[in-house]
Structure formats: structure tokens, C-alpha cells
Structure 1
Amino acid sequence: MKLINFVLNVIWLIFAGLWMSILYVLAGIVCTILIITIPWGIASFRLAVYVLWPFGRTTRVRDDAGAPSCVGNVVWLVFAGWWLALGHLTTSIALACTIIGIPFAWANLKMIPISLMPLGREIVSTDQRFAGW
């Protein structure tokens, strides 16, 4: 299974991961420069690493996420989330044009909700997905 994840991640890195990760890093840099938005910058950097190498990992809602995460997600959605979601959508359309790219297009579409609402989520290994239950 780890070999399959490695191969999928390498293909993903070449065709979608590097470009999308750069977009997340740019959003994180802008958020960090603005100082008041540093928490969003940290979330953006964390997602940049996830988007760079996603297979074998997943996200789940944090148990301690509350109202501040909800309010933060609304701010993120307005200023950066929809741009990143648009990037995922555009990349998935381009990947779906090829037969071999369809699974990667689907993976890109699955990342749209995470790009829209990143706060209050944590990235975990797929082996640990249900560890908290």
C-alpha cells in the first residue's frame, strides 16, 4: 500500500501538487505579511504540505474546534479560500481531460472543501483516521 501511495504521490506532485502547493504558499506568505492574519498563514502552509503529498493522508475535524474556527473559516473563504478552490477546480478539469488523470481530478475535487474551510481540521495518516473514535 505504501508503494502505491508513493507512486500516486509522485504522479500527483508532477501534474497537480507542485502548482497547487505554490498557490497555498503564496496565500500563506500574504497572510503572514499582514501580521493580523498569521493564523490563516499557518493553516495555509500546513495545507501546502498536505496538497504537495496527499495520498496516504486525510483530514478530519478537530474535536476542540469551536466558534473561532468557524468565524476564521468565513474570513478565509472570503479572502483566499475561493481562489484556492478555483485553482483546484481548474486543475481537476485539466486532469479530467486525460484518462489517466481522472483519479487525480477526483482527488483534486475532494480537496475543494478543505481549501474553503481549513481551520478546525487536522491532517492525519490514513492509518490513524479512526484512531480518535
Structure 2
Amino acid sequence: MRLLLNILWFVLGGWISGTLWLLAGVIFAITIIGLPWTPAAFRIAGFSYWPFGRMVVDRDPGATSFLLNILWLVLAGWWLALHHILLAVALAVTIIGIPFAWQHVKLAMLSLTPVGKAVMEV
């Protein structure tokens, strides 16, 4: 079931989200200022491609992660999370879209504070 949901997710738009996060990671890597967020962008890209059967956990709750997450939240995190929440609400209206809506909620939470998180297999 997880494989089927991941394939449907990928075909119906997950590839767009994952590719945009990969592009963001490359742009972060090119700039010196964006280097701290590069690994988080690549992690989110992998999660955006295949979210079913995975979960996000805290990995490093240190002071550096906290400061980077605060800066990220102010500059980009809130509108990325809002985007995912709006998609989740639209998908939750249909019964078929509920599993996809839940994945967008997980992506919204990850988009708010991506530094210091890890994606684990369930």
C-alpha cells in the first residue's frame, strides 16, 4: 500500500515539490549564506518525493539549530507551511485526498523548522 501511495503521490505532483526542494538546496549550496540550510533542503526533497512510510523526528535540538530555524521561519518557513496547509485543506475535502492531505501537513511542519530534523522509515 505504501508503494502505491508513494507512486500516486509522485505522479500527481510530488515530483514537482521534490524537484523544487532540490533546486533550492543547490541554490543554497551556491551561496555562502545558504550553506547551513542546504542539508535540510535535500532532506525535505527526499521526503517530498516519497513521503509515505516515513516520519520526521528531531535529531539535533541544539542552540545552532534553534537560531537557524528562527531565521528560516521568519524569512521563508511560514509561507511554505501556509502553502502546504492550503493544499492539505483542499485535499482533505475529498475522501481519497485525506492520505495526501496528511502528508502535506507533515511537510508543513517540516517546512516551518527544517534544521535539526531527520526523516526516518516507519
- Gaps spanning 5+ residues in structure 2: where? none
After the TM superposition, list the runs of 4 or more consecutive aligned residues in structure 1 that deviate by more than 6 angstroms: none
Task: Map 1:42-121 onto structure 2 (within 5 A).
Answer: 42-62=39-59, 64-121=60-117
- TM-score normalised to the size of structure 2? 0.86
Instruction: Write out per-residue CA displacement over residues 54-104 of structure 1, whole angstroms, 9 at most, x where no aligned residue.
Output: 111111111x43000000101111222223213312322342343311221
> What is the aligned-residue identity percentage?
46
Structure showing greater Rg: 1
Separation (CA, whole Å) in 2 of partners of 1:5 and 1:23: 23
Q: Distance in 1 between matches of 2:35 and 2:3?
A: 32
Offset from partner CA, 1:8-55 (integer Å, 9 cap, x none): 111111224122213322332332222121120221011101111011
Determine if the alignment matches structure 1 residue 28 to structure 2 residue 25.
yes
Amino acid at match of 1:31: F
Runs of at least 5 residues in structure 1 that lack an aligned partner in the other structure: 127-133
CA contact (8 A) 1:29 1:41 kept: yes
Judge conservation of contact 2:52–2:103 (CA < 8 Å) in 1. Answer: no
Contact residue 20 and residue 87 of structure 1 kept, 8 A: no
Letter in structure 2 aligned against 1:86? L
Aligned CA-pair RMSD: 1.8
Letter in 1 for 2:100: F
Closer, same or farther in 2 for the Cα pair 1:74/1:66, shift >3 Å? same
- Please give the TM-score of this superposition, normalised by the length of structure 1: 0.80
